[in-house]
Chain A
């Protein structure tokens, strides 16, 4: 066995000392994170903390300035796009804005990755599309256009597209943002369902604490480019870190409160 061959105990994803800046803005400053197979990790943090940037590093939509990204035992941050294209069907990514192709129908959207990566017949593709849409509770919507769907339906169709090739890892970028509470909870339930039915590893980026507490096996918090908390939904409720508590309880810090009051 070579050093690069993953074993069952190796993490599926490993981020090592990731640094990233956009111009003068430092986003990530030495992030280390390993994700175990089958686990749902929720990354919380304020808007602009760099949560989505971490997610985009895992699928190599962004390359780190420094550090390494490993997936399934292979280093991917410096891999050629051609090699990476072979790995890509193993990721599913749910984008914040759903990112459905608006020139294609719902059915064509979900069929797209299947047609790109497999040599299945049209009828087989249609069966898969139907199966995936049924998983998110939307079978029958194939002929609709993305513009005809509600926000929640778009997210679910995008999720069906993300799982079209049965990925090992699903990344959710703010899956409940912009949805009303019942629709947001549908997405939470779907995340849990996919975890049990497909045995996938999931990473959820969110600032919705209700969602985080419901779906997480593990919660990490990102603040100012660094991970400041790593624990479970239970331990985060008992933390004594004031910054983490403010976030969990959804209240602003004492300094901000003082400054708001003093300026009256």
Chain B
């Protein structure tokens, strides 16, 4: 439990700020084009279609990798170079069970929660731009979102976030566990942990995204959002 708190406490404020500003920027930038085409009431559709299955999980993943993954690698790496991991082994305690499993699970469980927060705050920020700044009525904003969003999109976003969380947890723990000696070793492990997590995140995002949009088309056909 303290680990979950740590993971959440370290990341939640950052992800709320990120989600909010990404929502604001997306809304501001898309408004003119949508307005010119007469689609400005459907601004929320564009926002949520980008955020929920795509940007939400990716941004939450990036924040998790940078904020938590790096710290986990540093923590385990320091334990490795100061022989604390060897000490666990000598005392007959499996260091994987003791150190890696709870950290891995914390990342995997927290990623969907962070994603969810990013989605919520991004959508609210979009609402703020639409309704408060651009005078679009509130009810069509939410109506079109409700019309276009399906459980499918939410599930794809959720699944991605779980996979990203697991990948980040695994990479961060692996890099810390196999850290080379010295402060330089720990530093290098942290950098590698973030860079690899980031690349893995983007690549898996592409594959999961491609797979599920293909599957959706095969099952239900193309759905127009406008």
By a beta-carbon cutoff of 8 Å, the part of chain A in contact with chain B is: 56, 59, 61, 81, 84-86, 88-89, 91, 93, 95-97, 99-102, 112-113, 116-117
Contacts and interface: CB of A to CB of B under 8 A. Distances in A.
B226 interface: no
B91 A101 contact: no
A61 B90 CA distance: 7
Contact of A93 (B79, B82, B87, B93): B87
Contact of B92 (A61, A95, A117): A117
A112 B91 contact: yes
B92 A99 contact: no
B32 interface: no
Contact of A91 (B79, B82, B90, B94): B90
Contacts of B84: 99-102
A116 B79 CA distance: 19
25 contacts: A61-B86, A61-B90, A84-B92, A85-B92, A85-B94, A88-B90, A88-B92, A91-B90, A93-B87, A93-B90, A95-B83, A95-B87, A96-B83, A97-B82, A97-B83, A99-B83, A99-B84, A99-B86, A99-B87, A101-B79, A112-B93, A113-B91, A113-B92, A116-B92, A117-B92
Contacts of B91: 88-89, 112-113, 116-117
B85 to A, nearest CB: 9
Residue among B79, B90, B94 with most chain A CB within 10 A: B90
Interface of B: 79, 82-84, 86-87, 89-94
Contacts of B93: 112-113, 116
A117 B88 CA distance: 12
A88 B88 CA distance: 11
A89 B82 contact: no
A89 B87 CA distance: 12
B87 A81 contact: no
A95 B83 CA distance: 7
Nearest to A116: B93
Given A85-B94, A101-B87, A113-B92, 14 more contacts: A56-B86, A59-B90, A61-B89, A84-B92, A89-B91, A95-B86, A97-B82, A97-B83, A100-B84, A101-B79, A101-B84, A102-B82, A112-B91, A113-B91
B75 to A, nearest CB: 8
B178 to A, nearest CB: 15
A101 B82 CA distance: 9
Contacts of B86: 56, 61, 95, 99
A73 B87 CA distance: 24
Closest 7 CB pairs of A and B: A88-B92, A99-B87, A99-B83, A85-B92, A93-B90, A95-B83, A113-B91
Contacts of A96: 83
Contacts of A97: 82-83
Contacts of B79: 101
A170 to B, nearest CB: 11
A100 B85 CA distance: 10
Contacts of B90: 59, 61, 88, 91, 93
A66 B152 CA distance: 57
A248 B90 CA distance: 31
Nearest to B89: A61
Residue among B79, B89, B94 with most chain A CB within 10 A: B89
Nearest to A95: B83
B81 to A, nearest CB: 8
A93 B90 CA distance: 7
Residue among B86, B91, B93, B94 with most chain A CB within 10 A: B91
